[in-house]
């Protein structure tokens, strides 16, 4: 009976030692994870500050809008431009953009993409479009709006029906 008690006591002592070592290892792992998290947080804060400084620098170097006001931008889609003013159709058609079946444009194409794709000077296009807004802005007509979501459109040449 004494031997059983000694064996059980020794087993309990070994299990206690094993659990003590396990807890010590887990505490070390926890300390390491905490230090790593703190280091990562500091690095993230530095990266955020660098990005903020870069954004501030980009904002400072951006060209301000012209004094006359710029209604049309290179990133605006053809569809949005047509919604803004129905005269867009004529201005683009004069530049041979969307005026015939061989030069149709996508409603989701940007003004910059249309200018590049048709070999037109972007600044000239934007100037022509923005000049539309110097007069009183007429309400857009429903029949002048492009098809919904990415359809190809033909704007039609000035004075000519779409082919």
Neighbours of 114 (CB within 10 A): 23
Its pTM stands at 0.43
| Residue 129 · residue 78 · CB < 8 Å | no
Q: Is pLDDT above 70 for 16?
A: yes
Rg, Å, the chain Cα set: 34
CA–CA dist 60, 142 (Å, integer) = 40
Q: Is pLDDT above 60 for 65?
A: no
Neighbours of 48 (CB within 10 A): 10
pLDDT score, position 99 = 66
Q: How does the average pLDDT of the chain come out, rounded?
A: 80
Confidence of residue 141 (pLDDT cuts 50, 70, 90): very low
Average pLDDT over residues 33-52: 95
| Residue 78 · residue 153 · CB < 8 Å | yes
Torsion, Cα of 110, 115, 116, 122 (10° steps): -100
Confidence of residue 63 (pLDDT cuts 50, 70, 90): low
Confidence of residue 55 (pLDDT cuts 50, 70, 90): confident
Q: Please tell me the class of the 78-153 domain.
A: mainly alpha
Top pLDDT among 105 and 111 is at 111
Domain positions in the chain are 1-62, 78-153
Torsion, Cα of 15, 19, 21, 24 (10° steps): -160
pLDDT digits (tens, 9 = 90+) for 145-162: 444 444 555 555 444 444
pLDDT score, position 86 = 86
Ranked by mean pLDDT, the top range of 8-12, 105-109, 140-144 is 8-12
Q: Is pLDDT above 50 for 143?
A: no
CA–CA dist 129, 105 (Å, integer) = 16
């Amino acid at each position: 009976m004494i031997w059983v008690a000694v064996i059980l006591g020794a087993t309990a002592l070994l299990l206690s030692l094993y659990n003590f070592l396990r807890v010590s290892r887990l505490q070390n792992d926890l300390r390491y994870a905490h230090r790593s998290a703190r280091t990562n947080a500091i690095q993230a804060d530095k990266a955020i500050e660098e990005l903020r400084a870069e954004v501030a620098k980009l904002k400072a170097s951006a060209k301000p809008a012209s004094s006359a006001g710029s209604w049309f931008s290179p990133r605006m889609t053809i569809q949005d431009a047509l919604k803004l003013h129905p005269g867009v159709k004529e201005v683009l058609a004069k530049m041979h953009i969307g005026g015939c079946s061989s030069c149709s444009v996508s409603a989701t194409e940007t003004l910059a993409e249309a200018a590049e794709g048709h070999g037109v000077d972007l600044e000239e296009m934007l100037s022509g479009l923005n000049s539309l807004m110097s007069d009183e802005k007429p309400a857009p007509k429903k029949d002048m709006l492009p098809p919904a979501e990415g359809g190809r459109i033909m704007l039609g040449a000035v004075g000519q029906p779409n082919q």
